[in-house]
Amino acid sequence: MRTGHETELRTDGDESSSKPPLEIGLVIAGRMDDARMQAVETMRDRLAGRLQRDFDQFRWVLRIVNRSETRLRRPGSVRVEPTELLEIGQTERESYRWDFIIVITQSDLRTHDKPFAMGIVARVQDAAILSTSRLDPEGVSATARPQDRGDLLATRLLALALHALGHLNGLAHMDDPHNIMYEPATPADLNTMASWTAEQKEDVAANLRLIADVRLEEQVDALRSSRLSFYLKGTWVNRHEIADAVLQAHPWEFPRRLARLTTAAFSTALILLMTAETWDLASSVSPGKLLILIVIALSVTTAFVTARQRLLVRRTRRLTEQTVVANVAVVAIVLSGMMTTFFGLLGTTLAFQVLVFRTSVVRTWAASLQEPWTFAHSLVVASFVAALGLVIGAFGASFEEYNYFRHVAFVDEET
């Protein structure tokens, strides 16, 4: 079964089976010792068996691709960056037609939200990362026999893989410590996470059915259509998946998580508010022009951040539906994040105006305004200031560390 760097396991040998196929690619990234490799293979076999038993309406294919030669760590850093591993997974996916990617590494994962992580879930990319670093009971009980060690590692990897697949298929956490969707706090918690409820199974099955549907790129007309119409069609067909991915990314937390962007945007807004010319200029802008200004500010910042942080998946080969989903989702995530920041700025500047600036002062600043000052004028000034603040803020975002922004955009959970 072993061919060079790859091993493949089909749970149903009959290729001509009428069951729709579902493929999971397990990518070994970076050096992995024999004991762990063995545990990964055991886990793959158990996972394949489990999925075939629980979701027998599909034909499961699980392939291990060994990329242990990949050099991960940059000199001096102990932990490996999850977004780097996601990229490795995406590169491999180009060669195969995988529905899910699970990247497995022996290195510890760098985290941004939690002190440590055993796994990472990235819904936009249908990908998960598992790290054996903290799962390996080696450090916990030195007296354990090697086979027990391997068995426990495989058990924990399996629980983590199922947990990730649960998230990738839209499941949320459960309080029951025996449930696969329990949120594990320690590696030992994984030992008991083994079951799903009938309802969870149904939800996963429903989502898998959508995924197993004939992929768009396999339809004859898709091959003939232009890039744009392929994108439009792909977006429409996957609109629910894209909406889910955006919700999972919590774009409303962007202002809090992207501190540099937010600081730059708010500082700009404050300075603009303290400038008389802003009031004079903004109060004479018509609502139509203001709307155009806001649309431009949101588009420019979204495009700038997406390009600058290299968030789009680029394909050297033909365009696939998965690429369309990943790219449209990430643009929607950034756009929603920008809109959150914009409305946050708008609300804050408006409140600041109403509370701090007396109308008599404002009136003298907006010198060229011929009519009496109303709330509508305050709203116009606040929108103007928020739009400009956002643009400057996006330049601030370019100072966010490269991997951090990608992390915010792609990673849904550190487990």
Q: Rule CB under 5 A: which residues touch Zn ion?
A: 413, 415
Distance from C-alpha of 340 to C-alpha of 65, rounded to nearest angstrom? 40
Residue carrying the six token digits 């709307």? 291
For the CB of residue 86, give the shortest distance to Zn ion in the complex, in Å.
17
For the CB of residue 402, give the shortest distance to Zn ion in the complex, in Å.
26
For the CB of residue 116, give the shortest distance to Zn ion in the complex, in Å.
14
Contact by Cβ (8 Å): 279, 404: no
- The smaller minimum CB distance to Zn ion, of residues 151 and 183, is found at 183
- The smaller minimum CB distance to Zn ion, of residues 188 and 295, is found at 188
User: How big is the chain, counted in residues?
Assistant: 415
For the CB of residue 121, give the shortest distance to Zn ion in the complex, in Å.
7
Nearest partner of 65 among 34, 37, 33, 36, judged by Cα: 37
Distance from C-alpha of 179 to C-alpha of 153, rounded to nearest angstrom? 18
For the CB of residue 164, give the shortest distance to Zn ion in the complex, in Å.
8
The amino acid occupying position 372 is P
Contact by Cβ (8 Å): 306, 299: no
- The smaller minimum CB distance to Zn ion, of residues 119 and 396, is found at 119
Cα R_g (the chain), whole angstroms: 25
Nearest partner of 157 among 180, 139, 130, judged by Cα: 130
- What's the Cα-to-Cα distance from 133 to each of 32, 80, 157, 388, rounded to whole Å? 11, 11, 11, 46
For the CB of residue 130, give the shortest distance to Zn ion in the complex, in Å.
12
For the CB of residue 158, give the shortest distance to Zn ion in the complex, in Å.
15
Distance from C-alpha of 233 to C-alpha of 227, rounded to nearest angstrom? 10
Backbone φ and ψ of 364, nearest 5°: -70, -30
- The smaller minimum CB distance to Zn ion, of residues 105 and 248, is found at 248
- The smaller minimum CB distance to Zn ion, of residues 41 and 183, is found at 183
For the CB of residue 253, give the shortest distance to Zn ion in the complex, in Å.
17
Q: Give the CB-side neighbour count of residue 292, counting CA atoms within 13 A.
A: 4
Helix/strand/coil for 285: coil
- The smaller minimum CB distance to Zn ion, of residues 120 and 216, is found at 120
Contact by Cβ (8 Å): 216, 319: no
Distance from C-alpha of 412 to C-alpha of 172, rounded to nearest angstrom? 12
CA angle, corner 252, sides to 251 and 257, nearest 5?
Answer: 80
- The smaller minimum CB distance to Zn ion, of residues 67 and 167, is found at 167
- The smaller minimum CB distance to Zn ion, of residues 172 and 361, is found at 172
Helix/strand/coil for 394: helix
For the CB of residue 31, give the shortest distance to Zn ion in the complex, in Å.
27
The amino acid occupying position 93 is R
Nearest partner of 132 among 37, 50, 24, 8, judged by Cα: 37
- The smaller minimum CB distance to Zn ion, of residues 165 and 350, is found at 165
